[in-house]
Structure 1
Amino acid sequence: MNVRDPFGIHRKNALSILKTTVPRSAVNFTERAVEASINALEKSKKVVDDLDMSFTVPKNVPSFTNPQRIVEDHVWGSTAVARGGKGSQTNKNTGILGGVQDKVGSLFDDRNSLPMYKDKPYAYPPSYRAKPLWRRKRVIGFVLFVILSLYYFGAFGHHRDTVIASTPIWAWLAANSESGKTADWSGRRERVVEAFTLSWDAYERYAWGYDEFHPISKKGVQMAPGGMGWIIVDALDTMILMNLTSRVTHARQWISNSLSYDQDQDVSTFETTIRMLGGLLSAHYLSNEFPELAPLSDDDPGAPGEDLYLEKAKDLADRLMSAFDSPSGVPYASVNIGKYEGIPAHDEGGASSTAEATTLQLEFKYLAKLTGEKYFWDKAEKVMEVVDNNGVEDGLVPIYIYATDGTFRGQNIRLGSRGDSYYEYLIKQYLQTNKQEPVYLEMWDETLRGVRKHLITYTEPSGFTIIGERPDGLKGALSPKMDHLVCFMPGTIALAVTGGLTEAEARKKSTWTKQNEADMKLARELMHTCWGMYKWMATGLAAEITYFNIANPPAPESAPHHPPAEFDPDPEAEWRKDYSVHSMDVHNLQRPETVESLFYMWRITGDIKYREWGWEMFKSFMNHTAVPDGGGFSSLSNANKVPPVMRDNMESFWLAETLKYFYLLFSPNDLLPLDKMVINTEAHIFPRFDMGQLFSTGWKRKPRDADGKIIK
């Protein structure tokens, strides 16, 4: 039979089978459903005819013979979901190149092992959606049986490795496979584990031991001659949490046998601290405090490798300490780890990034606590004193600081790149030492007041809450620009309000204030805006930078604003006028900040919508960032077109942060309780602890006026 007319002679047979095997009450609908399925398949056949393309399996369909196939089956099948409501942008994803891997995977999946979905169909009549559940399940199952029967008994003849590119019925069936109203969060969490293993196994297969992985070209690149363990160490604690014992074993063996920091290599002080030092310390903590996770005999008490991670961390930290050997104590931007030599930045007049200089404290303080080496603590905490002694207005710091004298360079103030994690680590330092260093809470509170006063405004016409920038200082104009990085703030604000307790628990305390109430409201509004960054894009994945339409002059923080509760999917919806993405900013780097905040907001508020937003975001990553031929997942050069343009790069924080936060978001709330630990800016997990007699804050703030300026 001609494969380009697969249903030509089978239509009558299929429908006659229906009339003899299905109860009469269900025949009419089922007949229409099969007709609709066949029509959809014939329409896609016409598309292929017009393009003069054969029905060959696209390259981005998982290999059916690859040992990774079982895992791939689950991922591809579970993500074949039609997301109605994006107009023409979403519909493009059902074309020749869009979502094919999902639909093909669905043909071979065991549906009983797949998660359930809450998405509503957008192409089928409301009367069917209203039918009782038992009738829905029976009819859907039968339609699936009929179509699979046609597939296996001749519709495709001997061409069972071929597929029609556009089959909406498969996406629709997956979207409606949920029974009842309760989502299977355990199943959804397993989909995250499968996404992680796809990514990790691709790296392991094509670039093992390399610091960078390019999943499309299947290549690895080193940052240092012997490798820095950039991906392996960064992903290690995620694998421990996910209980991936064999993969942890392989990673641990590489760290033990191949990882050496005795290399003549310049590295970023900040990135190496948060990723490598943080990753090793987190692995040490998890493997000791949660031995049931990825259990290994090598790290058991008394075993030769018991302190492997800590020993590597101590060696690396001793090398990184050289960056602090500046006249002011503010660390240099880089350090040669082989020569133990700090190196000033090559641009900005040698100034260091303020955020980078002040986002080392959690790591070095925890290491000091583990080792008893006080100099780690003292060097890291001295930086905070130098920064604070500048006496900035309203707690808002410029984004560059000189390591030579500890003064700021320029007046650019923002909570995006080079500014973000300074603010994050204020409240987290306070929590890390069990609230025994109130100076950091004081600095955080001052900062949040400054953010409200100088950076918060509302968009037009819809009234979304944003955090803008002051590139020319607090007296300069407000820029309506938000890096995706700024989306760490909703979760951090909520964490600061409750200290890691749930909102319900915190409200019962006598310490709950009207300011706490206002801060939680701000957190919710910013979370809503950040989610809109995803909803605005064609792929459902946020751009690196988003601009907003605001009034001139900008509305003050006290202005009334009433943003829509939902994002209307109509491409011409009014809310879309508030957002704008420039052509140079459409890339998506697999960043974690929004899902990080969703995780905090879910744990703290208990509002299920944050989990649902996370699931929708996860599906977008699965649908649009999957790489052909078992390559895992890649960041995107253009996330505002479907299919997107790939960057051929997997960021290490995809494994260390983004997938970890998805995993935690879909996990039970007693996994890593927020009031017992603190998570660094690279999503590495540290315990909270008491300072004890050895450690102290070591400095006091100078007296200030109402604006935060030092009184001389």
Structure 2
Amino acid sequence: MNVRDPFGLHRKSALSILKTTASRAAVDFTERAVEASVDAIEKGKQAVDDFDMSFTIPKNVPSFGNPQRIVEDHVWGNTAVARGGKTSPHPNKNAGILGGVQDRVGGLFDSRNTLPMYKDKPYAYPASQRARPIWRRKRVLAFALLLLLLLYYFGAFGRHHDTVVSSTPMWAWLTAGSESGKAADWANRRERVVEAFTLSWDAYERYAWGYDEFHPVSKKGEQMAPQGMGWIIVDALDTMILMNLTSRVTHAREWVSNSLTYDQDQDVSTFETTIRMLGGLLSAHYLSNEFPDLAPLAEDDPGAPGEDLYLEKAKDLADRLVAAFDSPSGVPYASVNIAKYEGLPAHDEGGASSTAEATTLQLEFKYLAKLTGEKYFWDKAEKVMEVVDNNSVEDGLVPIYIYATDGTFRGNNIRLGSRGDSYYEYLIKQYLQTNKQEAVYLEMWDESLRGVRKHLVTYTEPSGFTIIGERPDGLKGSLSPKMDHLVCFMPGTIALAATGGLTEAEAKKQPTWTKKNEADMDLARELMQTCWGMYKWMATGLAAEITYFHIASPPLPEGAPHHPPAEFDADPEAEWRKDYSVHGMDVHNLQRPETVESLFYMWRITGDIKYREWGWEMFKSFMNHTAVPDGGGFSSLSNANKVPPVMRDNMESFWLAETLKYFYLLFSPNDLLPLDKIVINTEAHAFPRFDMGQLFSTGWKRKPRDAEGKMMK
């Protein structure tokens, strides 16, 4: 792919053009151009000052080069505003003559773009470790910037602003001239993820700053509460910290400090607010303290007035959310009025709460309790697990609704998709969070996984893929071959449970490794392949929200012979495609993270490069089919099974908080957030593992069970 000069000119002609236009400078160089040039030079000088502020990098953090701006230049360079064509109702403030000047200048100075034109500190080499090239010295940089700006302005004023739009698809650079025959450059691929994030974030910042929802096609925002809940800003905080996006973290932190208030008469989801907002604040607190050189800010340095900003906001929010647990049973209500400190039952399902939602609050409240010493946070969250377990379910599989009034289940629907999924996820993660000190949760996880194998696992026809189905009428009812995309969290979670976060090779050396662990890893691999097939089956390469499968009648039991193909044949008539089926109402793609989440765990644990490669293919599909024109970022899809797809005009907050974060971690070195040192909540917010200490305890014991997991009388 031929890459044009950032100024739209061939480099070899730059000098001659400069000479021929120099005589025009005295006449044509307007006051506007002078002021803009000086401003740009000052920004360049400030950028160099930022670069000079070297600091020690934590040993477990990889080298973070300042991301190349190929993606942003490509998209914004093809917007209507930049072309001089029909403008959008919300013009791009960065478009026009001055649009992207810093990006373009940076591109000329350094092909690796390590010059921090965006204020985000480049973790390349500290200045003290090597002599700076001559072009990085401030005076030379300022002079060069002036010359290049002259070249840009005189060239721009002397020709039309319309540019020829390439017939190449918007994101074809991802595949054009790819690394055929070469080892993949994973650092480069990671930078592509950072670019996707910054495109998304900057579009939100431009069109919907401070709003809880962002509609990238219509370029507008909406609030979920009168003054906003920080739904997107707080959820994305720790992703930006990990990506070292200092200037963006600064802006977000300012909003959190000055604009975010929970004193609003608003009903909010107990679960969603806990995992996204409370989890996001706690993770930002953890990362900013544990890795102070990632997106470093003076405001949160030890002793600074804002040192505990994230923790203080988290405590304020948790004090309101904890009111949800004030039910007769201790099972939290589905909603909370955060101004009135009042828990509220659900408006449907007879007021029952979702089982997954009631049991996916524990990591957050336990970590907050550990940070603050406020034991009631711990006790409230822990009590829920006892109430759920005392229902004496068969084989560890729980129905998807539970009453907050008396703690009993509503209905018999059992699934690992919506309203059931993260109950199982948090069993093993609670065990790992407290450094394996709460064995009750490992016992409950093992029991549940046996139940999944016994009642929900089967194989497809004709190819023999492994799936996890549903039992909508209980364990005595029939198996539905329906699998939500949400279920694709399971491969990674199973692998995490089997190894405890160690690599598979390391775990196998442990005396605790058994044939069960081996079998669990086999199941994880098979389910991972099935989830990847959900993507390969769709026209865009992006999975549907729900996939159905063709299975035998009666369904084959777990362990039955099955031999799925190792690869997915691209032929539209390939045999494997008969196993999958997507209904017309389920073709939407919501930018969900579960499959890339599991790819991340599977790569870290197995070391099998195919999981990284699958992730790269998936990332390219997101780039090629969900990008919004005119600097809109990325959108979820209403129909992901047609090309071009139908846009949904919504950017989910978990696109920034989870999906792009997991891509980033998948392409990063393994010592960034090592899995044996941290736990990641269901919204991809990272917390440290810790010992309970003297203050905290599990506080309950399981009652004796029979072979099927039912309590013995």
Do both proteins adopt the same fold according to a TM-score greater than 0.5, normalized to the shorter chain? yes
Residue 509 of structure 1 and its aligned partner are, at CA, apart by 1.2
2-structure distance, mates of 1:340, 1:175: 55
Matched-pair contact (CA < 8 Å) for 1:679–1:685: yes
1:360 counterpart residue number:
361
Is residue 162 of structure 1 aligned with residue 170 of structure 2?
A: no
SS state at 2:268 partner: strand
2:495 counterpart residue number:
494
Superposed, 1:157-236 pairs within 5 Å as 161-163=163-165, 165=167, 171=172, 174-178=175-179, 180-236=181-237
Matched-pair contact (CA < 8 Å) for 2:459–2:465: yes
Residue 511 of structure 1 and its aligned partner are, at CA, apart by 1.3
Q: Deviations over 1:271-330 (max 9, x none)?
A: 000000000000000000100100001101110000000000000000001100000000
1:333 counterpart residue number:
334
Relative to 1, partners in 2 of residues 1:248 and 1:164: Cα closer, same or farther, differing over 3 Å?
Answer: closer
2:679 counterpart residue number:
678
1:575 counterpart residue number:
576
Q: Deviations over 1:185-212 (max 9, x none)?
A: 0010001001000000010111100000
> C-alpha root-mean-square deviation of aligned residues, in Å?
2.4
1-structure distance, mates of 2:369, 2:174: 55
SS state at 1:301 partner: coil
Relative to 1, partners in 2 of residues 1:299 and 1:113: Cα closer, same or farther, differing over 3 Å?
Answer: closer
1-structure distance, mates of 2:268, 2:702: 32
| One-letter identity of the residue aligned with 2:242 | L
Matched-pair contact (CA < 8 Å) for 1:393–1:707: yes
SS state at 2:350 partner: helix
1-structure distance, mates of 2:411, 2:302: 51
State the identity %. Answer: 87
1:561 counterpart residue number:
562
Superposed, 1:20-31 pairs within 5 Å as none
Relative to 1, partners in 2 of residues 1:581 and 1:72: Cα closer, same or farther, differing over 3 Å?
Answer: farther
SS state at 1:494 partner: helix
Matched-pair contact (CA < 8 Å) for 1:427–1:496: yes
| One-letter identity of the residue aligned with 2:550 | N
Q: Deviations over 1:551-576 (max 9, x none)?
A: 00000002000000000000000000
Relative to 1, partners in 2 of residues 1:661 and 1:173: Cα closer, same or farther, differing over 3 Å?
Answer: closer
2-structure distance, mates of 1:385, 1:159: 67
SS state at 2:483 partner: strand
| One-letter identity of the residue aligned with 1:649 | N
Relative to 1, partners in 2 of residues 1:186 and 1:686: Cα closer, same or farther, differing over 3 Å?
Answer: same
Relative to 1, partners in 2 of residues 1:68 and 1:491: Cα closer, same or farther, differing over 3 Å?
Answer: farther
| One-letter identity of the residue aligned with 1:181 | K
Is residue 371 of structure 1 aligned with residue 372 of structure 2?
A: yes
1-structure distance, mates of 2:99, 2:233: 20
Q: Deviations over 1:29-70 (max 9, x none)?
A: xxxxxxxxxxxxxxxxxxxxxxxxxx9989999986487758
2:154 counterpart residue number:
none
Relative to 1, partners in 2 of residues 1:306 and 1:370: Cα closer, same or farther, differing over 3 Å?
Answer: same
Residue 536 of structure 1 and its aligned partner are, at CA, apart by 0.3
Paired residues in the alignment total: 582
1-structure distance, mates of 2:98, 2:412: 55
Matched-pair contact (CA < 8 Å) for 2:172–2:624: no
Matched-pair contact (CA < 8 Å) for 1:459–1:548: yes
1-structure distance, mates of 2:486, 2:629: 29
1:455 counterpart residue number:
456
2:284 counterpart residue number:
283
Relative to 1, partners in 2 of residues 1:64 and 1:312: Cα closer, same or farther, differing over 3 Å?
Answer: closer
Residue 179 of structure 1 and its aligned partner are, at CA, apart by 6.4
2-structure distance, mates of 1:173, 1:587: 24
SS state at 2:634 partner: coil
- Unmatched runs of 5 consecutive residues or more in structure 1: 1-54, 75-107, 115-156
2-structure distance, mates of 1:502, 1:286: 23
2-structure distance, mates of 1:535, 1:273: 34
Is residue 320 of structure 1 aligned with residue 321 of structure 2?
A: yes
Matched-pair contact (CA < 8 Å) for 1:212–1:222: yes
2-structure distance, mates of 1:614, 1:210: 30
1:254 counterpart residue number:
255
Relative to 1, partners in 2 of residues 1:325 and 1:167: Cα closer, same or farther, differing over 3 Å?
Answer: closer
2:8 counterpart residue number:
none
SS state at 2:495 partner: helix
Residue 71 of structure 1 and its aligned partner are, at CA, apart by 10
SS state at 1:466 partner: strand
1-structure distance, mates of 2:662, 2:104: 23
Relative to 1, partners in 2 of residues 1:674 and 1:59: Cα closer, same or farther, differing over 3 Å?
Answer: farther
1-structure distance, mates of 2:641, 2:392: 42
- Unmatched runs of 5 consecutive residues or more in structure 2: 1-82, 114-158
1:543 counterpart residue number:
544
1:129 counterpart residue number:
none
SS state at 1:316 partner: helix
| One-letter identity of the residue aligned with 2:321 | L
Residue 180 of structure 1 and its aligned partner are, at CA, apart by 4.4
1:478 counterpart residue number:
479
Residue 510 of structure 1 and its aligned partner are, at CA, apart by 1.6
Q: Deviations over 1:419-450 (max 9, x none)?
A: 00000000000000000000000000000000
Residue 413 of structure 1 and its aligned partner are, at CA, apart by 0.1
Matched-pair contact (CA < 8 Å) for 2:545–2:587: yes
Superposed, 1:3-42 pairs within 5 Å as none
| One-letter identity of the residue aligned with 1:161 | T
| One-letter identity of the residue aligned with 1:550 | I
Matched-pair contact (CA < 8 Å) for 1:459–1:465: yes
Residue 221 of structure 1 and its aligned partner are, at CA, apart by 0.4
SS state at 1:568 partner: coil
2-structure distance, mates of 1:574, 1:56: 49
